[in-house]
């Protein structure tokens, strides 16, 4: 019986203590939160001014440019034109053509004797038998020979071949058959007359 009474008493004491604590907590005044009143001013919030000292700008004086030295003038010398080589004096020649024959005389002493050349060509052309006469073929050969003072023909040789043996032979044969021409003119001072005779056939 005593034990139950003690237990009941302890429970009541605990409950009373708990109720006292709860009532003490509830009786504390409630603290209101602080309210800050903010007034908006037109133009926005003023920014905090911080004094900034202007930076001292350092003036850099430009360095003087070195004076440009004038470039030395290079005188262009005119190119020396090569002197034309003196033309070699060509041997004086006189050329006469007659019926496919062309005689060319060497030597200055032969100038002015075209009439004698015409006589030579007339005589030789009478003895020239062209193997291609009447044919459609162009051909040319040159024969060299000399005429002595008495008109004798000598040193006959083919100087430039036509490429055709029969035609070349007919040219040299014409001179050999002629054999002798009239004597050289008395005005001619040379010992002999050197001639290049062209036998040309054009259809």
* Domain spans in the chain, listed from the N-terminal domain onward: 93-201
- At residue 87, the pLDDT reads 45
Residue 118 parent element (H or E): helix 114-126
Top-level class of domain 93-201 = alpha beta
Out of 22-26, 33-37, 196-200, the most confident range is: 196-200
Q: Would you say the pTM of this structure is higher than 0.85?
A: no
143 and 159 Cβ atoms separated by less than 8 Å: yes
- At residue 202, the pLDDT reads 85
Residue 176 corresponds to which tokens in the numbers above? 């050999």
Q: In the predicted model, what is the mean pLDDT of residues 187-200? A: 87
Residue 139 parent element (H or E): strand 139-148
Q: In the predicted model, what is the mean pLDDT of residues 69-78? A: 62
* pLDDT class of 69 with cuts at 50, 70, 90: low
The 10s digit of each residue's pLDDT in 98-134 is 455 666 666 545 556 778 888 889 999 999 999 988 8
Which value, in Å, is the radius of gyration of the alpha carbons in the chain? 70
Give yes or no for residue 194 having a pLDDT over 80.
yes
Give yes or no for residue 191 having a pLDDT over 70.
yes
- At residue 91, the pLDDT reads 37
Give yes or no for residue 41 having a pLDDT over 50.
no
Burial class (CB in 10 A: 0-12, 13-18, 19+), 29: exposed
- At residue 168, the pLDDT reads 94
């Amino acid at each position: 019986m005593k034990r139950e009474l003690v237990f009941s008493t302890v429970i009541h004491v605990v409950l009373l203590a708990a109720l006292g604590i709860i009532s003490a907590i509830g009786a504390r005044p409630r603290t209101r939160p602080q309210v800050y009143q903010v007034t908006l001013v037109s133009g926005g919030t003023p920014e905090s001014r911080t004094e900034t000292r202007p930076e001292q700008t350092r003036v850099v004086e430009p360095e003087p440019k070195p004076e440009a030295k004038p470039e030395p003038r290079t005188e262009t010398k005119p190119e020396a034109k090569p002197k034309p080589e003196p033309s070699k004096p060509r041997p004086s020649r006189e050329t006469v053509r007659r019926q496919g024959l062309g005689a060319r005389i060497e030597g200055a002493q032969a100038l002015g004797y075209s009439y004698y050349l015409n006589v030579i060509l007339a005589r030789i052309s009478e003895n020239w038998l062209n193997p291609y006469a009447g044919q459609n073929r162009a051909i040319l050969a040159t024969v060299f020979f000399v005429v002595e003072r008495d008109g004798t023909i000598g040193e006959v040789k083919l100087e430039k071949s036509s490429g055709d043996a029969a035609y070349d032979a007919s040219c040299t044969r014409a001179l050999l058959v002629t054999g002798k021409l009239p004597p050289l003119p008395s005005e001619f001072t040379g010992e002999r007359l050197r001639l290049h005779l062209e036998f040309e056939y054009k259809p």
